[in-house]
Structure 1
């Protein structure tokens, strides 16, 4: 193992394994939220074992610490959420601000940004970016992805639920920024913050990811089948696709209290009492499954609601994207290109209501309202570097 910590002047790099053979570059992030140390521990465990057992590596494997100061303090963040800061505008602002004026998370972001682009500019592809997280509530392990087909195809290899569309509700996650650059990026939520199983699930996921990306050969990984079963059993054999249909936002000044006992993927009926927000009852708007209910003091998301995506809808969306059906959308009234190269559309709100959000989702578009009359629709397919991954076994599967 090549430990770069001394070279960078901090402990940003957990480790770097540089294989003798050509292969992918696989990058794991742990501790983007400082109260979520399971990913960091898993990365340390797996990299150390690869080194000790002299397992042959193809390409490069990186382990990167996220919010170092928050990890030391055991807090989600110190000044603001590092995983809500990765927008082009914010990055440019940080780059043009003196270091003395930067808040803790601004400094952390700039350091991560430099490491990220150093890897992208010096290492060969294909690139795989995986960000480890945990939740404040009990949960099945699950994957979150931006809805690009390269992310879907790779994520389907893992025996856990897959959540689509989180980028529509959150601004500035690290993986959304990476996905905007066209690279495969996957978030893995391994369990509850303090649960032993969260570390075990992260370790299992990391081994599988290294095999699936061809960074390691399956035959060289002792206990491979056990790692697969670990995730499959922890997920209770639930490997369905879900989409987010509602987010309950909260402000740092708000009084929010989730009712006790909820865990992710619990089914709730319409009208079910879920939480109290500023002394008002919060009810489920429709029958759905609750997702990431908040049981900690820091956070901007009270809870989400999700629903299962039918297999037919997944198949149809894949077919329509492959025949480039989304390219025909601008011929519709009220729809125009905001940026054709980036695949972003401007959609009149009346048109959006007429066509319905599920249709845009089917074609790979997620929305952000920019004013009273228009919605900005962004497609991950337009920027995805599909050619980079077209030669991989899982892409051709």
Structure 2
């Protein structure tokens, strides 16, 4: 069973706010986005079901508040990823500033959506109470296990580690302007959850389970009925894969790329070196190195043909956590060829002509991810510097992990 455009187009692009419930008791504010990509309706459907349960009284928000938001309304109405720009690639601070300075009549459909969502985000941060949790619900064009993507900060790691699904680190190095990266720069927990393949009904169920688990772990619904069932169902869908992975390769696509993925590939599939995975401009495309295939593209719109990931050893995660706790990064500017980009000390500039001994994995341990590179320099951004750890320090999950 799959959905058709007729089934979804008339209802998905409804009001921006799917629902808002408030307990009246101090607690977390949990914000969910669905449909940032218009051809990914599962998150919207799941949120509609969750907030219908709140409205009917079948479920109760016990602490704080929960908010469900539709993303790209015009694209949802047409069941397309986007109309002119990918809304999930516009959230660069400089680009946001340019969009907001542009008269509305000259903005693209997605730029108009960004301006509205940006205003809504600022309103939520001003009117609601901390701690804040932001969840962006997505699906993929290929078959996949349900999984989480995060920017690499310790609060993101700790919270995402509660869920029984794989967690992907490092994708922010390869994508420019995702919504969650923007929110992370503000210091808040922000997770992406990919619940399955676009038109698979199981993607709705898995998104719904993830929403309820998020509300439970955040403390909004601490006495959630059916918690164990939802946890085990999501665990089963993920084939008990609860590992952390890291992106190490992105196959970038340009306009007129002529890319076509070979049929039958799925996310988390191990692929050997030399395997033919696609054709591009009529030529076979073979992997130059082995890896675990991640998000192979089976749709027309998209900027990435596929990614490759590898499992992150638990010892590396532990070492990374200790080095960040000890604030080891403060001594990095003493190394030759390494200096702070500015007085905020959240970005490093590495002169590759001098610091040839440095490697990206070393910086990854400390929470630095590359954001820009030219022939001689690497600029690395640190997520820990802006993380609002104090907002989450009193939560049970923060002290337990």
When normalised by structure 2's length, the TM-score is 0.94
Q: Which residue of 1 aligns with 2:230?
A: 227
> Cα offset for 1:252?
2.8
What do the CA deviations read for 1:248-278 (whole angstroms, capped 9, x no partner)?
Answer: 0002311000111000000011111111112
Q: Kindly indicate whether the alpha-carbon contact (under 8 Å) linking 2:21 and 2:65 is maintained by their aligned counterparts in 1.
A: yes
Q: Which residue of 1 aligns with 2:316?
A: 313
2:17 to 13, 23, 30: 13
Structure 2 residue 312 is the aligned partner of structure 1 residue 290: no
Q: Which residue of 1 aligns with 2:49?
A: 45
Aligned residues: 386
Q: Kindly indicate whether the alpha-carbon contact (under 8 Å) linking 1:31 and 1:39 is maintained by their aligned counterparts in 2.
A: yes
> Cα offset for 1:353?
4.1
2:94 to 89, 110, 116: 89
> What pairs with 1:265-344 in structure 2 (closer than 5 Å)?
265-341=268-344, 343-344=346-347
> What pairs with 1:373-388 in structure 2 (closer than 5 Å)?
373-388=376-391
Q: Which residue of 2 aligns with 1:35?
A: 39
Partners of 1:311 and 1:350 lie apart in 2 by 32
Q: Which residue of 2 aligns with 1:194?
A: 199
Q: Kindly indicate whether the alpha-carbon contact (under 8 Å) linking 2:336 and 2:355 is maintained by their aligned counterparts in 1.
A: no
RMSD: 1.1
Partners of 1:241 and 1:234 lie apart in 2 by 17
> Cα offset for 1:146?
0.1
Structure 2 residue 151 is the aligned partner of structure 1 residue 143: no
* Secondary structure of residue in 2 paired with 1:382: helix
Q: Kindly indicate whether the alpha-carbon contact (under 8 Å) linking 1:16 and 1:61 is maintained by their aligned counterparts in 2.
A: yes
1:68 to 66, 69, 73: 73
Q: Which residue of 2 aligns with 1:5?
A: none
What do the CA deviations read for 1:213-247 (whole angstroms, capped 9, x no partner)?
Answer: 00112x3x222111101110000000100000000
> Cα offset for 1:279?
2.2
Partners of 2:127 and 2:295 lie apart in 1 by 37
2:121 to 116, 124, 129: 116
Q: Which residue of 1 aligns with 2:220?
A: 215
Structure 2 residue 190 is the aligned partner of structure 1 residue 185: yes
Partners of 2:382 and 2:78 lie apart in 1 by 38
Partners of 1:352 and 1:49 lie apart in 2 by 56
What do the CA deviations read for 1:308-364 (whole angstroms, capped 9, x no partner)?
Answer: 000000000000000000111110111000034251000112355421111011111
Partners of 1:370 and 1:252 lie apart in 2 by 22
* Secondary structure of residue in 1 paired with 2:232: helix
> Cα offset for 1:55?
1.6
5+ residue gaps, structure 2: 1-13
Q: Kindly indicate whether the alpha-carbon contact (under 8 Å) linking 2:28 and 2:220 is maintained by their aligned counterparts in 1.
A: yes
Q: Which residue of 1 aligns with 2:393?
A: 390
Of the structure 1 ranges 333-342 and 289-298, higher mean CA displacement relative to structure 2 is found in 333-342
Q: Kindly indicate whether the alpha-carbon contact (under 8 Å) linking 2:46 and 2:205 is maintained by their aligned counterparts in 1.
A: yes
Partners of 2:55 and 2:269 lie apart in 1 by 40
What do the CA deviations read for 1:185-216 (whole angstroms, capped 9, x no partner)?
Answer: 00000000000110000000000000000011
Of the structure 1 ranges 347-356 and 83-92, higher mean CA displacement relative to structure 2 is found in 347-356
When normalised by structure 1's length, the TM-score is 0.95
Q: CA 1:273/1:119 → structure 2, altered by over 3 Å: closer, same or farther?
A: same
5+ residue gaps, structure 1: 1-9
